[in-house]
Amino acid sequence: MNLTLSGDAPIAARIESIEAELLRLPQVDCPLVHRFAPGVYLREIFMPAGTFIIGQQHKTEHFNIILRGRARVSIDGVVQIIEAPFTFVSHIDVRKVLYIEEDMVWQTVHPTNETDLGKLEEQLIVKSASYQKHVEDLRALRAIVGEVSQ
């Protein structure tokens, strides 16, 4: 398994390749909390220490608030340490690659009046081809298992 971000391929292509490999491994549960206020959607995720995380590409510029923890984060190929408390703005089309060094609580804040989570995903993120294939494969496996158990 080649998990390097170095090389001649563009960062987005390298992230996609790494994501495809990592999706073959057991996935870590990262609980989400969704909160809404008038005109605002706040998404909070808990990420345990020792976890690699590849975020989805976002269609919007938005706030990121790190409430707890520490991680090595690659943004556009630049690696930096992010440690709570910390707030920054993510730009459009950015994907982050993280290695969580200490249990982390990370929030994103999005201006919207939408409260339907499915519609919010459509509005806010671009799901990578690797992720979409992973979801389709899981659905197919569930259908097969469902057919066998009936």
pLDDT digits (tens, 9 = 90+) for 124-133: 887 776 766 7
**pLDDT per residue as tens digits for the range 44-80:** 999 999 999 988 888 999 999 999 999 999 988 889 9
* Band of pLDDT at residue 14, cut at 50, 70 and 90: confident
Q: Any bridge partners for residue 17, and if so which?
A: none
Q: CATH number, domain at 75?
A: 2.60.120.10
Range of the domain at 77: 27-149
Let me know if residue 136 belongs to a domain. yes
Kindly indicate the confidence band of residue 5, based on its pLDDT and cuts at 50, 70 and 90.
very low
pTM of the predicted model as reported, rounded to 2 decimal places: 0.77
Q: Look at residue 137 and give its three-state secondary structure.
A: helix
DSSP line for 33-82: EEEEETTEEEEEEEE-TT-EEEPPEESS-EEEEEEEEEEEEEETTEEEEE
| Position 2 in a domain | no
> Does 15 reside within a domain?
no
Residue 76 lies in a domain: yes
